[in-house]
Amino acid sequence: MIDDNFHQPSVLCSGETEYNKAGLLQGQAVDSSLSETGRQQAAAAGSYLRDVGFSNVFSSDMRRAQQTAEKIMQQNSSCLRLQMVCDPLLKEKSFGVAEGGRVEDLREMARAAGEPFPGFTPPGGETPDQVKLRVQQFMEKMLQQIGAEHWPAGGADVSSAEGGPDNGMGPLNAHALVVSHGAYMCVAVRYFVEELRCSAPAGCDRKRMFSLSPNAGICRFNLTVVRQGARYVVSGMRCVFIHRVGGADTQ
């Protein structure tokens, strides 16, 4: 027997750091804290998400992501009983020898190699496929944890809410907060669209879907999850909104 369950992750990019402000790459080697602007961005995201009933909180184990998640949790009463799970699978993409250097220098490296900038892998860095593998591993881990915690009996069909703005806030039975990083999220969204057949929000083209998230940008997805034997797998996926900042969609 296969039963439908519904999971609705809100996925955030971490807030701004001084490295972001200076146009420098952080990747994994630079574990910086949020700047004052970054703390304000995280607080604004927390204000927007304050009424969401989160069931789980996952964060990259990098400082800037954890601090972003903490700011959001501080404003949300549903998080009082939750413990943040810090997972290295959510780390930012590694930029190898380019970490700590200027973003423009990485662009020059890509041009010199005759490769497009977005998919370029500097020496010692992660390829898009390597990042995608981490995305897949995190999705598997998250679904099995949430399934075990919230759907031990398989669950039942739940209908979406009718009327009102499309904020994706139907009566679903699991809603995770996931905080990661910009380049990681680019790979994740491409994987969702191209391999999990995630549909885009109305009026949103692929260029926007695959663009880099602004700091503290929020994406929300609706997942239909089915239990197959002892495992939970995604059978359907829809993006409700992409790169929303402080309650407004960026252009």
In DSSP notation, 164-199 reads S------S-S--EEEEE-HHHHHHHHHHHHHTS-PB
CB 95 within 8 A of CB 25: yes
CATH number for position 175: 3.40.50.1240
What whole-number distance in Å separates Cα of residue 241 and Cα of residue 202? 9
Binding-site residue set = 64
Q: Could you tell me which residues come within 8 angstroms of residue 155 by beta carbon, excluding any fewer than 6 positions away? A: 3, 4, 5, 6, 173, 227
> In the chain, which ranges are continuous DSSP H helix?
18-21, 36-48, 63-74, 103-113, 128-150, 182-194, 206-209
Q: What is the pLDDT of residue 194?
A: 97
Q: What is the mean pLDDT of residues 134-163?
A: 72
Quick one: pLDDT at residue 161? 31
**Amino acid identity at 187:** V
**Number of domains into which the chain is organized:** 1
The pLDDT tens digits of the residues spanning 63-92 come to: 999 999 999 999 999 999 999 999 999 999
The span from the CA of 198 to the CA of 216, in Å, is 22
Tell me how far apart the alpha carbons of residues 182 and 131 are, in angstroms, rounded to a whole number.
12
Whether 38 contacts 16, CB under 8 Å: yes
Residues 6+ apart with CB under 8 A from 159: 170, 171
Where is pLDDT greater, at 99 or 166? 99
The residue assigned the tokens 């750091």 is 17
What are the structure tokens assigned to 12, written together? 């955030």
Query: What's the domain range around 84?
Result: 4-249
As a whole number, mean pLDDT of residues 129-156 equals: 86
Q: Using pLDDT thresholds of 50, 70 and 90, give the confidence band for residue 153.
A: low
Window from 3-7, 42-46, 136-140 with minimum mean pLDDT: 3-7
Averaged confidence pLDDT in the chain: 88
Q: State pLDDT tens for residues 109-127.
A: 999 999 888 788 999 999 9
Instruction: In the chain, count H helices and then E strands.
Output: 7, 8
Task: Give the lowest-confidence range in 82-96, 106-120, 139-153, 160-174.
Answer: 160-174
Q: What is the mean pLDDT of residues 142-146?
A: 93
Q: What value does the mean pLDDT take over residues 220-237?
A: 90
- Confidence (pLDDT) at 2: 41
pTM value is 0.88
Q: How many CB atoms lie within 10 A of CB 94?
A: 19
Identify the top-confidence range among 4-18, 73-87, 144-158: 73-87
Question: By mean pLDDT, which of 17-31, 43-57, 139-153 is the weakest?
Answer: 139-153
What is the reported pLDDT for 157? 34
| Spatial distance between the Cα atoms of 43 and 70, rounded to a whole number of angstroms | 9
More confident residue, 35 or 173: 35
**Residue-level pLDDT at 149:** 87
Higher pLDDT: 84 or 166? It is 84
Cα–Cα distance, 96 to 232 (Å, whole number): 34
Task: Answer whether 188's CB lies under 8 Å from 228's CB.
Answer: no
CA distance 240 to 236: 13
**The pLDDT of residue 7:** 78
Element (H, E) at 218: strand 218-228
Binding residues for substrate: 64
Summarize pLDDT for 177-221 with one digit per residue, the tens. 999 999 999 999 999 999 999 999 999 999 999 999 999 999 999
